[in-house]
Amino acid sequence: MEERAEDLEPGITSEGTSEESRHQHKEVKPWYSGGLKDWIFTTDHKKIGILYFFTSFIFFLLAGMMGMLIRYELTNPGIQLPSIAGQEGADLYNYLLTGHGTLMLLWWAVAVWTGAFGNFLIPLMIGAKDVAFPRLNAFSYWVFLGASVMVLLTAIPGNWIKMLWTAYPPFASNPNAGPVAYYSIIILLYGIAATAGSVNFVATIISMRTKGLSFRKMNLFTHTILGANLIQLFGVPSFLGAVTLLFLDRYIGTNFFNPEIGGDPLLYQNIFWFYSHPAVYVMMLPAFGIYSEVIATMSRKPIFGYVSMVLAIYLIALIGFLVWAHHMFAAGIPDWARVLFSYTTILVGVPTGIKIFNWLATMYKGAIRLTAPMLFVLGGLFMFLIGGLTGVLLSMVSANLGLTDSMFVVGHFHYVLGMSVTFAALAGILYWFPKVTGKMYNEKLGVWSFIFAFIGSNIFYFFQTFSGTLGISRRYADYPNILEWVLINQIQTFGSVLLFVGIVLFLINIIVSLRSGQKAPKNPWHSPSLEWSATDTPVMSNNFKKDHIEIHKDWHPYAYYKGYHEHF
């Protein structure tokens, strides 16, 4: 192992002398060195980040395969999926919908940020040796893995959970919904992991910034992770509460949600969406963070209006908690509540508008390098713009009454949470690939995977979004044989195949670059941000050479203009 470390960074081991050098010699191994035992018992934020990344990416691929099976079912009218173990093909479809939704949202769009990207990058960006509670961090990963293994066991036919990730009662108390207890335990484990993680990140970012790194000098990605984890901290308990009450209703005989004995099923929806709506900002905010990082770096410009970008992040996190009832516009809540929530929802457009304009202004008069991460970010912004504008329509209560639970909603959130988040994650993977592995990704494969994914997803989700205006409802295993409806579904499937090819090319890119990528320079993007400028590539296991890194008083993570100092 030590030879490997010297191969990669020959200069470092020669630093220092005698006792001190022996001490340091042990610590300057690259972060990924160490055997299986080391990986299992690790408390290193970088290793835990990568464990999170692999788990989350595998579930992304699995959920993607479920999505392809859903497309297979919908390509033609009729039920195509086979009946398994006495359960109808329609039941398999409902199981796939539940799995696709739960995994894509919780295992991919939330976990990839707070678990993978947050863990690996946040201590590096704020100049810390590790997170505030390293053992809690390891604990949260292994609990998360436990939940993940339980998810895999739901594939056994008798274990199919068929009530969608929302699990609305009283349907959740119906035998047709599948094993509710099993679902509750998965979500509780997930929630324990998420809460432990959010406590850790909030503490780390607030208390472990290196000297001189004020909130006004923090990377926007760090701000978005802080915002996202504050949402988790306040929101997840509400979600866990809803699921626990559901469990008690079903098995202990309490009557929180059961209307037959005086409960109220809409109470569940209120508690559930109080978390689950802000949760979309847990997915979206770090994506915004990545957009900011990549746009500033690739345009060689400081972020335009840094302060308003930061304020917009916390404003979005705050407004996120005031809009949950827009998921219930047609659920029989009072009319005044619908109007009130329509107003608050539509106001979310303001801070997101600020961010879009500021990104454009950041690119203005820049020197824009159209590398693969930048293409993914521009593609993601394009998708976000459509997703945001369709969101405006859905937030208008009068339009919502005609479109709620239609394919328009599905298309809308696939533009935002599907592609905008995924493109940001893929951009982030390529952007920090050299930092993690010490090798460069393959630019050509990166660009081709972007082209396929961008064209495919736009064909797919454009037609999906507007198929709702024709009257096609969501969550349907089958639909009437209307020529338009069949055609529109077949176009979507064509798009989904292109998207699938794009994701496969991306995967090939990662594997090829890991095996035979070019050796990366220390700071391939010439970025003053701490994770690039103050650490080696790949990072050594002690993160920074000194215990306390010092930053110059003029240092800023986005000081990209001509004549900036690379080595603050």
Partner 1 sequence: MNQDLISSILDLISKMVFPFLGTTEIIAQPRAYWDNSYTIWLIFSIIFFVGILLVGIYIVIRYRYVKGKNEEGAHIEGNTALEVVWIAIPTILALFLATLSFANFMYQRTLPADALEVKITAFMWGWEIEYPNGKVVSTYFNTEKPFEKDDSEKFYLPVGKKIKVLLSSRDVIHSFYVQPAMITEDAVPGRITYMWFQINKEGEYYAFCREYCGSWHSYMIAVLKVVSEEEFNKWLEQK
Residues 379-438 contacting partner 1, CB under 8 A: 381-382, 385-386, 389-390, 392-393, 395-399, 401-406
> Which of 267, 322, 491, 501 touches partner 1 (CB under 8 A)?
491
Which CB atom, from 13 or from 308, has the smaller least distance to partner 1? 308
CB of 433 to partner 1, least distance (A): 20
Subset of 211-270 contacting partner 1 (CB under 8 A): 259-260, 263-266
Q: Are 225 and 286 contacting, i.e. CB atoms less than 8 angstroms apart? A: yes
- Burial of 480 from C-beta contacts in 10 A (0-12 / 13-18 / 19+): exposed
How many residues sit close enough to partner 1 to count as binding (CB under 8 A)? Answer: 98
Pick from 338, 412, 435, 439: which binds partner 1 (CB under 8 A)?
A: 338
The correct pick among 236, 410, 488, 540 for binding partner 1 (CB under 8 A) is 488
Smallest separation, CB 54 to partner 1 (Å): 32
Shortest distance in whole angstroms from residue 45 CB to partner 1? 32
Return the residue of 84, 206, 360, 514 that touches partner 1, per CB under 8 A: 360
Which residue's CB is nearer to partner 1, number 139 or number 341? 341
* Residue position matching structure tokens 């009454």: 401
Q: How far apart are CA 222 and CA 201, in angstroms?
A: 10
* CA pair distance 435, 14, nearest whole angstrom: 22
Q: In 10 A of CB 79, how many CB atoms?
A: 16
Lookup: tokens for 192? 């324990």
Q: Which of residues 260-289 bind partner 1 (CB under 8 A)?
A: 260, 263-266
The Cα–Cα gap between 20 and 172 comes to 62
Calpha distance 234→191 (Å, rounded): 12
Site for partner 1 contains 497 (CB under 8 A): no
Q: In this chain, which of 72, 314, 321, 476 binds partner 1, going by CB under 8 A?
A: 476
CA distance 240 to 231: 14
Q: Three-state SS for 304?
A: coil
Tell me how far, at minimum, the Cβ of 485 lies from partner 1, in Å: 10
Using a 10 angstrom Cβ sphere, with 0-12 exposed, 13-18 middle and 19 or more buried, the burial of residue 554 is exposed
**Stated length of the chain:** 568
CA distance 287 to 289: 5
Our finding on whether 179 is near partner 1 (CB under 8 A) is no
Binding partner 1 (rule: CB under 8 A), the pick from 16, 146, 237, 366 is: 366
- Using CB under 8 A as the binding rule, the residues of this chain from 98 to 157 that contact partner 1 are none
- Would you count residue 300 as binding partner 1 (CB under 8 A)? yes
